Amino acid sequence: MSAMTATTHNGAIPTHVEILATFLANDTTQNSAIGLNEWRTASRALFEITDKNHDGVIERAEVGDNALMREVFSNLPQGHDGKLTKQEFLDLRETIFRAADIDHNGYIAFVEYEILVLLRRTGWVDLDKDGRIEMSELRTVLERAFQLLDANHDGALTGNDMELLSPESLAAMDPKHTGRITLEQLINGYRFLLGADQVNRNVTPRGYPLPP
């Protein structure tokens, strides 16, 4: 199985190294961003590999616990019969692309991809149902993600809780290398990386982390 269609099973949170490998496999133009054409190529490959009996339709029985496919099915409209034609599948995947492109620049950058991996496990939160995750909605998404990552529920990400986070995310969330990331630091770090803030709000002008 190629890295492009590699899947992670239900419950397992992939590490940064695993996420990066999948991202790079999708980024065939090597511009550190997944464009819509690259996404479509990955979507077509994902359809072919999932349609195990090659009848041109994906049914739930063919999906198993594949996180990528559960993500697609979670975006089905209510009342849908659960049988996806290729075109329906590709349309749903484009819906996911648009939602994952949080800063609306037409590309999924690595930080957006990392958040997408989290979304596959927290479920989608599109509060105003416009197919976009706005900055105001990002907080709700990341609150759920934080609960998921904080394995011992002590209100801070430490040790293995942080294995999913890229070096860039860690630097933005924990600039003083304290080894602890609070919910506010997680949110502020992602907001900074997504360009929502002019400065890294986890760092005061003198370089000290803000209190939680």
Which position among 55, 91, 130, 134 is part of the footprint of Ca ion (CB under 5 A)?
A: 55
- Site membership for Ca ion, residue 103 (CB under 5 A): yes
User: Is 101 near Ca ion (CB under 5 A)?
Assistant: yes
Which 3-state string (H, E, C) describes the chain? CCHHHCCCECCCCCCHHHHHHHHHHHCCCCCCEEEHHHHHHHHHHHHHHHCCCCCCEECHHHCCCEHHHHHHHHCCCCCCCCCEEHHHHHHHHHHHHHHHCCCCCCEEEHHHHHHHHHHHHHCCCCCCCCCCCCHHHHHHHHHHHHHHHCCCCCCCECHHHHCCCCHHHHHHHCCCCCCCECHHHHHHHHHHHCCCCCCCCCECCCCCECCC
Binding segment for Ca ion (CB under 5 A), chosen from 46-54, 71-79, 117-125, 198-206, is: 46-54
Select from 6-14, 73-81, 93-101, 166-174 the region that touches Ca ion (CB under 5 A): 93-101
Q: Is 152 in the site for Ca ion (CB under 5 A)?
A: yes
User: Least distance from C-beta 103 to Ca ion, angstroms?
Assistant: 5
Interacting stretch for Ca ion, rule CB under 5 A, among 14-22, 95-103, 117-125, 184-192? 95-103
Which of 10, 53, 85, 160 binds Ca ion (CB under 5 A)? It is 53
Site for Ca ion in 17-36 (CB under 5 A): 27, 29, 31, 33
Residue nearest Ca ion by beta-carbon distance: 29
Residues contributing to the site for Ca ion (CB under 5 A): 27, 29, 31, 33, 51, 53, 55, 57, 101, 103, 105, 107, 150, 152, 154
